[in-house]
Every structure is written in C-alpha cells, then in structure tokens.
C-alpha cells in the first residue's frame, strides 16, 4: 500500500517549505486494480459453484423467501427488500430478477415479463408480480443447512451460499464479464440434468449438451464439455412452406425475431440473398415468413440464410465459477459432479438433523409417558421449593435413565414441570404408544437412508423428475451441421466484365464485354494468351495481364470442370496438348500452364463444365515440311492431369490455325452420390448411404412419411429433412413401392404396390389420397417386403399379429389406386420386417435393402362395417388372397 515518507528524510531545503505529506504512488495502481478486479469477480460477475448464483441472484432469492407467504408480490417491493442486502441499486436487481423470471424455473410470474423470443422487455416493476415456485421452494432453501453472514451494513444476515439440491447453474445458464475474465455457461435440459446426476451416482459416464427455450438446432461436435476453446453452432428451424415461401419456426439462442428480421433485410440489401419481403407474424409461436424472389431456389436460400444472417450463430462457452473464493475454469461435467456431491452432502445433513429431531421427540415422549403413568407428578405436591420439585422428578426418572440415548438435563426436567393438568387428565397411553411407534418407524427409515445414502439421493432425483419433469422435454434438436460455402449460396448481386486487350476484369467495367452474373464475394479465374492463369477476388476493376482468352467465376475443388489446351512451346516449337482441372490455388499468384519458356503461347483453349472432350482440326503452315498439313485431334485421347503437367506432343511442325470440328461428350462418366442421413444432404465424399452413379437427367426419389413422394435433381445444395423421409434413393421407373396406410374416407386400412409414373421434378404427389386424416403406416422400396401387422379382428377382440407379403398378395397398380383392403377392425401397429430376399438389382449393386421407416401407431377410427373379406379395389377374386398371409 502507500508509504508515508518522514519529512526528516528529505533534504533540508525541502523540509521548511513542505506543506503536505508526500505519498509514493509506485505500486498503488497495481494494488487498487487487483482489489477492484477481485471485487468484480467475486461479488458481481461470476457465480459460485455451490449454488450456481451470483450475489445479486442469491440476495433476490433470499429476500423473496423472507417475503414468501404463497401469494404474489409486486416486483417493485421485491427489489426494495433486496436492497437491504445488495448495495448496488435497483437497476441491477431489477434486471437480474427479470432474467431469472424469464427462465420459468424458480419463479412463478404474473403480468408482462417480456419475451426472450421477440426481445420485448418486461413491464415496469410496479405492474408485474412474482413468487417462488414450488420447485424453487423445494430445492433451494433450508435455514437449518444454510451458512449465514452479516449483510453489507451489518443490520441483517444473508446466506453465504444457498443449500441448492439441484444443478441450478447448468439449468439456467449464466453470462458475466469481469476484469480480465468472463464466464458463459449455456443452459441445459432439466430432465437430462437429473438423469445425468443419477448416472453420476451410479458411476456411469455422462454427456451433457445445451438446450434452449427458443428451440432450434445445435451442432455440439466442438462443444468440448462447455470449457474454454469449445464452440456450439446454433441454427434456426426453417421450413419450406412452398417454392416461394420459407417460414422460420424457431430461432437460435441469443437472438430475437427482430434481430433475425433485421439481419435478413441487411443480407438482402447487401445482395447476399434475393427476397421480396420478410414478415414477422410471431404471436404465441415464432413465425417469420420469408418471401422469395421469382426463380430463387428455396434450398440455396436456406443455406444463404444460415451463412449470411443470424439464422445461424456460433457461441463459445467458457465455464468459469468461483470455488473457494477463487475463479476456476472447469467443464460442465465437473460442475455437475460438484453439484451432485453437494446434493448428497446436503441430503445427509438434512437426514442427520431429522434424526436428531426424532430422537428428541422420542426422548420427550418417553419422559412424558413415564412422568404421567408412574404418577411422578403427585410426588412433587409436597415439595416446598422448585429445586425440590426438580430433584423429586429426577429421582422418579432414575430407574428409567438407562433406556434413554443421552443424559437427562435440567431443561428436560423443566419441560416436564410445564405439562398442564388438563393434558395429564386426558393422557391416553395407547395414543402415546402409537405416536412413539410412528416416530421409531420414521427413525428406522432415516437410519436406513443414512446407511444407503446413494440410493436415497437417487430416489430424491427421481422424485424431482416425477414432480417437475413434465413439460420440460428437450426443445433444441441436436444435429450435425454441414459446412456452407458462402461463395456457393451467395446470390448473384454483381456482373463480371472483361477488357481482353487491356487486361482488366471486374464488376465496374460496364462498357466492356459482359461475362456472367456473380456475387461480390466470388473469386475470378483468368487465363491469358501467354499460358498464364491466376485467381483473384472480384473488385470493380483489377489488372490481371493483357491478352485475356478466358475468365469466369472460380469454383474451388470443382473436379468436373476440365480445361482443354493446345500450346506452342517457345523454345522447341513443339505443339503440346493437355487437359487439366484447377481445384485449389493461391489467390493472386500466377501459374504457368506451359513449360515456362519465353514466347510460348496458347493455340487453343476450351472450358468444359462436365469434362467434355472436343475434336479440333489443326492446320499446319504451308512452309512446313509435313506431308499432311491438316489433321484432326481428339482431346478424348488425352488424360486429365494436374495443371503443371507438360502434356502430350501433337506436332513438331508450325501450326497455322486450330478450329473446332465437333463438340465432344463427357469423359468423366456419371457422378457418384451419397446421402448423409444425419445432415440430410447429398455429397460426393462417401459419407452416408450410397445412392448410385448419376448422369444427366437422373433423379432422386424421396418418399415422405406423410404419404407423398417427390422427384428431385441431384444438386449438392438440395436439403432433405431426415425425420420426414421414409425412402430416399436413385429414381428407377421400374422400382416398386409397397405401402400400408389408413384411408379416412373408407375408414379402412389398405395395402398397395405401385410404380412412380410421374417425371415432374420438385412437385409432391400423395399416393394415399388428399383427404386430411389419411395416414401412412409403413412403406418400403424393396421388391420382396414383409409387414408385421398387429390387429384386432373385432372391436374388442384379442390382439393378433400377422405377417403380410405384398408381392404375392396384390398386383402392381397405379400410384392413385386404393389397393387391397385389409379385413381388420383395428390396426394397432405395423412393423417393417427384413425382406424375404434381395432383388436382382440390389444383388447387382452389391447392397442390401434395410427397413428405413420408423413405424407410427395410428389413432384410427372404427370401421362402420365389419367385413371379414379382403376387398381389392379394381381386383377380382380378392377373397382368395387370404392364404397368402404367412
């Protein structure tokens, strides 16, 4: 701290003129800063690990408990009561109280408390009310196990920490910024926390992931157990209402509908997406409508919303808590283990306290029984002093003292003297015995719980789950997210122009040659006559070198884009041919496609999006000594190599002209496509289910669980919702689909087999009818499927199971046909069994069809008729098909 200098230590010429004491300031700043930083960390920003609360939150709960009478209290009154313990003003108390109330966990609220989804604030404190919830009362408070300290002014006592018997910190989450550090713990699911605590008590491994009241999706692949360095990606839930409208149903944690709407408008203004308008129709549920511009792909727009707006946010957790008056960086699992252990210790203390209370009650009941039944009270009638009275009672109890668990004290004797004559006269020995028996039973139960503390703690958690778990299921769906390339999904908000002779490219050269539409974040690839190429970021005007022969938008890792090149080597005069792809380069670095010799130049160049190989006609100069001065060259004979390859020799003679003879076909063949069932995306990286090799014109068949099917292209930008899909595979017009469904108009169940006869892409067709209430129960694309049907032949008949093989039961019909009616009064469940055998196509492709529909149990209406025969709509002699059940 400060050092006071002695004036005698100063020179004599300064002693006489010194009017004030002088203080050395070295070290003061460091000490004061540390004191301030420690104060902010310990008293304001970071929660304690014991109860998971910051001081202001703890004081709010304590003040509210003191006021608690079961009725609602004005928030303004609660703030005033809390100010007796918290010296930092009503604003910080009000904000903290509102934040706790919006968690819907430890408070019951009344009035307008705002909306975390829309960002609307709470009403003024005088208009809203609050009380402790039943859950809050049960798990947070117990004066007998609370450690107390004096408040800041010494007038009142406040808890050091509250005896919380629940991982409150992980349930509510916390965020705080202190001096030199911060904390950010994301909220977790109520039910999962309790189940994880039980697992810890059973010595089982646990894994916890965040859950938010706002719902949405979360990618926890880099969550890192909530400690420093981790990251969680959170996305909004976006639905494709139709080809022109997207609807946002749930929003990411930390955002509001207003902020999301503003970010969408900004992305549209910046040209990253193309929309007509965005409407916020949020009321009870989140509902933001995004209306797309004509011709805009919904799938690409969804990706663009995730890439350029707050529809996707990244949160970096940083679990920092106070442990023994010091901040510690820990994991979420560490916090849960500490909370679980603390809960066990608090339960043990409560049991010990209860045990002591029961022993005292038993002791007093025994003393009272002996005092009355042995008529000791009559012996004190002749005593002249109070000391003699106590001595007489003590002598009367002496024969019984060995049966008591402790010594009889003077206070015990005093309590016996306070028994009134009325109680003595009405004393019932039988009731006293019954009371003592109940106390002994409870004491035995407490002793058993103390001896089996882990079992008792597990039952405590299960009781919490039973009482308060309803309605607290997980709201945020855990998913793996794909990486979205901004260049791929960005809208074309700019135009690319080129000045070939001058050597300029850019979006501002509007008087020069137009190349294509592009976005302002695209890269541009340029090829020059001298055999050089480079990739550069698009700008208004960029010089890339004169004699440009080709420029276009560059797509990284596009292996199907192949460049065909004929060039003249400037040193040897030999004409070379090469085919190559440019997949990855360093931006603004020139690459030489020739041998690098001076005076080399390009004679022929073509860019082919799907690896096409053309045929060109080469004319040699008239002065050349070659006998054949004109010949054709087929690029299909040249292998595709990297850009640095020298190529194949075409001719050693001088070339006068090269011209196109005929366009070629792709030499790459089809594209192998896989479907990632976790992401709901197509890929070429061999992730997920292999769909097949796709050529131009091929389609993907998608069968949905709501009884519709759709054909789509195989663009990698397509999005599929895995939870809604029953079958997804490469479309084959000869493939037979088998389905069991409930038809609401007929009030009956049907089985049908059909081929997909439509070819229109991106349009859904219902194969179970358009009537609302019809339900698909099971569907498969296997040729030899088997369904296990749990059914009742009569309304109240026994439940029976039967295996149905549709292949021999019904012929293939049109996709609109009803199919064959099943003769059951009720169908409880339909299960898809493994196929009887694989069909020829599956064997040829060396793969096995497996069931791919999670069967649902329908809530069907009872049939009006009790037919017991199978009626095949459009089929004859269908009753004979009963024998095909196995």
Query: 72: domain CATH number?
Result: 3.90.199.10
Same domain for 283 and 381?
no
Task: Give the per-residue pLDDT at 17.
Answer: 56
Which residue from 257, 209, 226 is spatially nearest to 479, judged by alpha carbons?
A: 209
Domain total for the chain? 5
Q: 34 falls in which pLDDT band (50, 70, 90)?
A: confident
Same domain for 351 and 310?
no
What is the extent of the structural domain holding 758?
715-884
Average pLDDT for 620-629: 89
For 739, how many CA atoms within 13 A lie in the half-sphere containing its CB?
33
Task: Give the per-residue pLDDT at 843.
Answer: 44
Does residue 425 contact residue 375 with C-beta atoms inside 8 Å? no
In angstroms, the CA 726 to CA 781 distance is: 10
Phi, psi dihedral angles at 303 (to 5 degrees)? -60, -40
- Maximum alpha-carbon separation in the chain: 154
Whether 727 maps to a domain, the answer reads yes
Task: Give the per-residue pLDDT at 21.
Answer: 64
Task: Give the per-residue pLDDT at 397.
Answer: 83
Phi, psi dihedral angles at 184 (to 5 degrees)? -150, 105
Task: Give the per-residue pLDDT at 860.
Answer: 39
Conformation bin of residue 52: beta by default, left when phi > 0, alpha when psi is -120 to 50: left
Higher-confidence position of 482 and 590: 590
Lowest mean pLDDT across 293-302, 310-319, 334-343: 293-302
Whether 22 maps to a domain, the answer reads no
pLDDT tens per residue, range 826-881? 888 888 888 876 554 444 444 433 333 333 333 433 333 333 333 333 333 332 23
Task: Give the per-residue pLDDT at 837.
Answer: 63
Same domain for 737 and 877?
yes
Same domain for 302 and 362?
no
Lowest mean pLDDT across 3-7, 434-438, 508-512: 3-7
Average pLDDT for 245-263: 95
Vertex 515 angle, CA 514 and 520, to 5°: 100
In angstroms, the CA 798 to CA 825 distance is: 11
Does residue 575 contact residue 566 with C-beta atoms inside 8 Å? yes
Whether 6 maps to a domain, the answer reads no
Q: Which residues pair with 631 in a beta bridge?
A: 618
Whether 153 maps to a domain, the answer reads yes
Cα 618 to chain centroid, rounded: 61
Same domain for 821 and 772?
yes
DSSP state of 508: S
Higher-confidence position of 147 and 20: 147
Does residue 807 contact residue 837 with C-beta atoms inside 8 Å? no
The answer on pLDDT for 670 being more than 90 is no
The answer on pLDDT for 8 being more than 70 is no
Same domain for 433 and 290?
no
Whether 475 maps to a domain, the answer reads no
The answer on pLDDT for 73 being more than 90 is yes
Burial 404-439 (b: 16+ CB within 10 A, else e): beeebeeebbeebeeeeeeeeeeeeeeebeeebeeb
Residue appearing with tokens 């690896």: 611
Same domain for 743 and 868?
yes
Whether 709 maps to a domain, the answer reads no
Does residue 754 contact residue 525 with C-beta atoms inside 8 Å? no
252 exposed, middle or buried (CB, 10 Å; 0-12, 13-18, 19+)? buried
Lowest mean pLDDT across 469-483, 661-675, 765-779: 661-675
Query: Among 29, 36, 85, 127, which one carries the catalytic annotation?
Result: 127
Which residue from 683, 692, 721 is spatially nearest to 240, judged by alpha carbons?
A: 721
611 exposed, middle or buried (CB, 10 Å; 0-12, 13-18, 19+)? buried
Instruction: State the DSSP string of 613-668.
Output: --EEEEEE-TTS--S--EEEEEGGGSPEE-TT---EEEESSPEEEEEEEE---BSS
Same domain for 307 and 354?
no
Q: 414 falls in which pLDDT band (50, 70, 90)?
A: confident
Q: 321 falls in which pLDDT band (50, 70, 90)?
A: very high
Q: Which residues pair with 725 in a beta bridge?
A: 704
Which residue from 254, 303, 301 is spatially nearest to 482, judged by alpha carbons?
A: 303
Task: Give the per-residue pLDDT at 141.
Answer: 96
In angstroms, the CA 457 to CA 194 distance is: 11
The answer on pLDDT for 5 being more than 90 is no
For residue 157, what is the enclosing H or E element?
Answer: strand 157-161
Domain boundary among 132, 163, 194: 163
Read off the tokens for 799.
């439940």
Count of other CB atoms within 10 angstroms of residue 169: 26
In angstroms, the CA 17 to CA 215 distance is: 73
Does residue 562 contact residue 580 with C-beta atoms inside 8 Å? yes
In angstroms, the CA 394 to CA 800 distance is: 78
Rounded to 10 deg, the angle between the 386-397 and 410-417 helix axes is 100
Same domain for 519 and 653?
yes
Those residues whose C-beta lies under 8 Å from the C-beta of residue 302, and which sit 6 or more positions away, are 238, 240, 246, 719
Mean of the per-residue pLDDT values of the chain:
87
- Across the beta sheet with 764-766, the strand order is 725-730, 700-704, 708-712, 764-766
Does residue 694 contact residue 714 with C-beta atoms inside 8 Å? yes
- Provide the terminal-to-terminal Cα distance of the chain, rounded to the nearest Å: 93
- Collapse the DSSP code of 866 into the 3-class scheme (helix H, G, I; strand E, B; otherwise coil) and give the result: coil
- Collapse the DSSP code of 38 into the 3-class scheme (helix H, G, I; strand E, B; otherwise coil) and give the result: helix
Which residue from 335, 423, 311, 320 is spatially nearest to 45, judged by alpha carbons?
A: 320
Whole-number CA gyration radius for the chain: 41
Same domain for 566 and 646?
yes
Q: 259 falls in which pLDDT band (50, 70, 90)?
A: very high
Count of other CB atoms within 10 angstroms of residue 715: 12
Phi, psi dihedral angles at 45 (to 5 degrees)? -105, -30
pLDDT tens per residue, range 631-656? 999 999 999 998 889 999 999 999 99
Those residues whose C-beta lies under 8 Å from the C-beta of residue 109, and which sit 6 or more positions away, are 101, 128, 129, 130
Which residue from 36, 49, 11 is spatially nearest to 340, judged by alpha carbons?
A: 49
- Residues 451, 453, 458, 460, CA torsion sign: positive
Instruction: State the DSSP string of 210-270.
Output: B--TT--EEE-TT-GGGSTT--EEEE-EEEEEETTEEEEEE--TT--HHHHHHHHHHHHHT
The answer on pLDDT for 697 being more than 70 is yes
Whether 407 maps to a domain, the answer reads yes
Which residue from 612, 611, 630 is spatially nearest to 620, judged by alpha carbons?
A: 630
pLDDT tens per residue, range 724-746? 999 999 999 899 999 999 998 88
Read off the tokens for 743.
């038809």
Which residue from 77, 321, 43, 38 is spatially nearest to 182, judged by alpha carbons?
A: 321
Q: 700 falls in which pLDDT band (50, 70, 90)?
A: very high
Q: 630 falls in which pLDDT band (50, 70, 90)?
A: very high
Q: Is 127 a catalytic residue?
A: yes
Phi, psi dihedral angles at 386 (to 5 degrees)? -70, -35
Same domain for 310 and 353?
no
Burial 124-138 (b: 16+ CB within 10 A, else e): ebeebbbbbbebbeb
Task: Give the per-residue pLDDT at 29.
Answer: 63
Higher-confidence position of 823 and 54: 54
Instruction: State the DSSP string of 526-553.
Output: EEETTSEEEEEE--S-EE--SSEEEEEE
Domain boundary among 270, 292, 314: 314
Same domain for 417 and 536?
no
Count of other CB atoms within 10 angstroms of residue 230: 19
Does residue 521 contact residue 273 with C-beta atoms inside 8 Å? no
Domain boundary among 163, 188, 203: 163
- Collapse the DSSP code of 318 into the 3-class scheme (helix H, G, I; strand E, B; otherwise coil) and give the result: strand
Residue appearing with tokens 């006293």: 432
Cα dihedral 689, 692, 693, 697, rounded to 10, equals -110
Does residue 823 contact residue 881 with C-beta atoms inside 8 Å? no
Whether 550 maps to a domain, the answer reads yes
Lowest mean pLDDT across 9-23, 150-164, 388-402, 820-834: 9-23
**Highest mean pLDDT: which of 84-88, 333-337, 433-437?**
333-337
pLDDT tens per residue, range 428-482? 778 888 888 999 999 999 999 999 999 999 999 999 999 999 999 999 999 988 8
Residue appearing with tokens 């008792």: 456
Task: Give the per-residue pLDDT at 880.
Answer: 29
68 exposed, middle or buried (CB, 10 Å; 0-12, 13-18, 19+)? middle
Instruction: Output the CA–CA distances (angstroms, integers) from residue 292 to 298, 444, 714, 811, in the order listed.
Output: 8, 71, 22, 44
In angstroms, the CA 659 to CA 838 distance is: 53
- Collapse the DSSP code of 441 into the 3-class scheme (helix H, G, I; strand E, B; otherwise coil) and give the result: helix
Higher-confidence position of 867 and 607: 607
Task: Give the per-residue pLDDT at 7.
Answer: 45
Task: Give the per-residue pLDDT at 886.
Answer: 32
Those residues whose C-beta lies under 8 Å from the C-beta of residue 249, and which sit 6 or more positions away, are 215, 236, 237, 238, 239, 285, 286, 287
């Amino acid at each position: 701290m400060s050092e006071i200098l002695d004036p005698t230590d100063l020179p004599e010429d300064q002693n006489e003129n010194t009017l004030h004491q002088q203080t050395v300031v070295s070290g003061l700043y460091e000490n004061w800063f540390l004191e301030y930083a420690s104060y902010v960390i310990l008293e304001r920003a970071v929660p304690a690990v014991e109860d998971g609360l910051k001081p202001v939150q703890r004081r709010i709960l304590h003040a509210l408990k003191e006021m608690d009478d079961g009725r609602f209290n004005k928030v303004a009154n609660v703030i005033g009561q809390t100010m007796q313990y918290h010296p930092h003003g009503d604003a910080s108390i009000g904000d903290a109280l509102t934040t706790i109330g919006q968690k819907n966990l430890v408070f019951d609220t009344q009035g307008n408390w705002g909306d975390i989804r829309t960002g609307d604030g709470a009403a003024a404190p005088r208009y809203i009310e609050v009380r402790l919830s039943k859950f809050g009362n049960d798990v947070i408070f117990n004066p007998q196990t609370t450690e107390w300290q004096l408040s800041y002014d010494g007038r009142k006592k406040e808890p050091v920490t509250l005896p919380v018997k629940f991982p409150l910190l992980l349930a509510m989450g916390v965020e705080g910024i202190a001096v030199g550090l911060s904390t950010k713990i994301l909220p977790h699911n109520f039910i999962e926390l309790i189940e994880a605590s039980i697992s810890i008590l059973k010595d089982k491994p646990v894994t916890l992931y965040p859950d938010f009241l706002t719902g949405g999706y979360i990618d926890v692949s880099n969550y890192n157990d909530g400690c420093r360095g981790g990251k969680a990606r959170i996305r909004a839930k976006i639905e494709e209402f139709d080809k022109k409208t997207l609807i946002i149903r749930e929003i990411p944690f930390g955002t509001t509908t207003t902020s999301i709407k503003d970010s969408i408008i900004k992305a549209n203004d910046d040209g990253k997406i193309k929309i007509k308008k965005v409407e916020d129709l949020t009321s009870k549920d989140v509902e933001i409508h995004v209306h797309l511009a004509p011709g805009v792909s919904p799938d690409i727009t969804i990706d663009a919303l995730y890439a350029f707006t707050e529809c996707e946010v990244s949160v970096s957790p940083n679990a920092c808590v106070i442990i023994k008056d010091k901040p510690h960086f820990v994991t979420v699992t560490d916090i849960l283990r500490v909370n679980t252990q603390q809960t066990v210790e608090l339960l043990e203390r409560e049991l010990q306290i209860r045990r002591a209370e029961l022993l005292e009650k038993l002791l007093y009941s025994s003393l009272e029984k002996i005092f009355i039944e042995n008529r000791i009270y009559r012996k004190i009638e002749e005593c002249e002093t109070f000391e003699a009275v106590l001595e007489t009672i003590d002598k009367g109890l002496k024969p019984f003292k060995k049966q008591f668990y402790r010594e009889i004290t003077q206070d015990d004797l005093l309590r016996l003297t306070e028994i009134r004559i009325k109680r003595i006269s009405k004393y019932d020995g039988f009731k006293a015995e019954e009371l003592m028996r109940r106390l002994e039973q409870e004491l035995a139960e407490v002793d058993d719980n103390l001896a089996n503390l882990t079992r008792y703690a597990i039952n405590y958690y299960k009781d919490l789950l039973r009482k308060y778990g309803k309605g607290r299921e997980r709201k945020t769906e855990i998913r793996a997210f794909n990486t979205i390339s901004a260049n791929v999904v960005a809208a074309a908000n700019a135009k690319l122009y080129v000045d070939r002779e001058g050597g300029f490219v850019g979006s501002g050269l509007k008087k020069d040659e137009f190349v294509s539409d592009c976005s302002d974040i695209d890269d541009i690839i340029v090829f020059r006559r001298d055999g050089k190429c480079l990739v550069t970021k698009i700008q208004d005007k960029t010089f890339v070198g004169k004699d440009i022969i080709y420029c276009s938008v560059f797509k990284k890792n596009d292996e199907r884009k192949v460049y065909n090149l004929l060039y003249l080597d400037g040193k040897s005069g030999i004409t070379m041919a090469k085919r190559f792809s440019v997949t990855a380069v360093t931006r603004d670095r020139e690459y030489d496609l020739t041998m690098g010799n001076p005076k080399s130049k390009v004679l022929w160049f073509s860019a082919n999006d799907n690896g096409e190989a053309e045929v060109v006609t080469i004319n040699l100069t008239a002065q050349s000594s070659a006998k054949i001065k004109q010949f054709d060259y087929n690029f299909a004979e040249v292998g595709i190599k990297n850009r640095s390859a020298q190529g194949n020799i075409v001719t050693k003679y001088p070339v006068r002209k090269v011209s196109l003879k005929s366009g070629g076909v792709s030499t790459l063949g089809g594209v192998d496509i896989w479907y990632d069932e976790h992401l709901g995306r197509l890929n070429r990286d061999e992730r997920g289910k292999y769909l097949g090799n796709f050529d131009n014109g091929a389609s993907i068949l998608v069968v949905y669980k709501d009884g519709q099917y759709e054909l789509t292209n195989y663009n990698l930008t397509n999005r599929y919702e895995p939870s809604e899909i029953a079958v997804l595979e490469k479309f084959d017009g000869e493939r037979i689909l088998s389905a069991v469904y409930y038809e609401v108009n007929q009030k009956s169940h049907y089985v049908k087999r059909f081929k997909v006869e439509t070819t229109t892409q991106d349009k859904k067709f219902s194969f179970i009818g358009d009537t609302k209430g019809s339900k698909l129960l099971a569907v498969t694309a296997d040729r030899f499927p088997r369904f296990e049907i749990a059914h009742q032949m009569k309304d109240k008949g026994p439940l029976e199971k039967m295996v149905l093989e549709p292949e021999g039961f019904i012929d293939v019909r049109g996709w609109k046909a009803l199919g064959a009616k099943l003769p059951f009064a009720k169908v409880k469940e339909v299960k898809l069994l493994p196929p009887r055998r694989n069909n020829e196509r599956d064997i040829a492709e060396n793969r096995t069809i497996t069931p791919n529909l999670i069967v649902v149990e329908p809530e069907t209406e009872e049939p009006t008729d009790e037919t017991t025969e199978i009626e095949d709509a459009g089929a004859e002699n269908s009753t004979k098909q009963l024998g095909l059940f196995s």
